[in-house]
């Protein structure tokens, strides 16, 4: 995510139509304070990159039912996938974060979405 953030920032300017969101899979441990420390450690720009937490059941449902990254019942695991979501909350792509070449594809796929008018 840090590499993605660096690619999206242009001369320190935050794009007004792109946001990065990290959602904890361990809400019992990842309090807002813990997430804030994580954000500091990875130099997250708070104008662009947001860290979210919530009830475990809601996170599990979001992960499995909305993003389709953890489909094992009652098991919430850290996913290595980036999920590209458009302005209408539609999933437009999945990208393996451990493969550096997919970062180029993700950046390329963001371009046309930024031009879509809703």
pLDDT digits (tens, 9 = 90+) for 49-71: 999 999 988 888 888 888 888 65
Measured between its terminal Cα atoms, the distance across the chain in Å is: 26
Report residue 87 CA to chain centroid gap.
14
Q: Which of 110, 63, 60 is nearest to 87 (CA)?
A: 110
pTM recorded for the entire structure? 0.84
**How, if at all, do strands 81-85 and 91-96 pair?**
antiparallel
Q: Which domains does the chain have, with CATH numbers?
A: 2-107 (3.40.30.10)
Identify each DSSP E strand in 40-105 by its residue range: 49-52, 81-85, 91-96
Q: What average pLDDT does range 88-116 have in this prediction?
A: 90
Note whether 45 and 17 are within 8 A (CB). Answer: no
The reported pLDDT for the residue numbered 77 is 65
């Amino acid at each position: 995510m840090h590499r993605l953030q660096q690619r999206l920032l242009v001369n320190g300017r935050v794009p007004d139509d792109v946001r990065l969101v990290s959602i904890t899979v361990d809400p019992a441990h990842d309090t807002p304070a813990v997430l804030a420390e994580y954000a500091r450690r990875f130099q997250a720009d708070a104008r662009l990159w947001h860290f979210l937490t919530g009830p475990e059941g809601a996170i599990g449902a979001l992960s499995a039912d909305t993003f389709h990254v953890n489909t094992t019942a009652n098991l919430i695991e850290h996913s290595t996938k980036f999920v590209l979501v458009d302005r209408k909350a539609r999933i437009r792509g999945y990208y393996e974060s451990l493969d550096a070449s997919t970062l180029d594809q993700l950046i390329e796929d963001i371009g046309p979405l930024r031009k879509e008018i809703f």
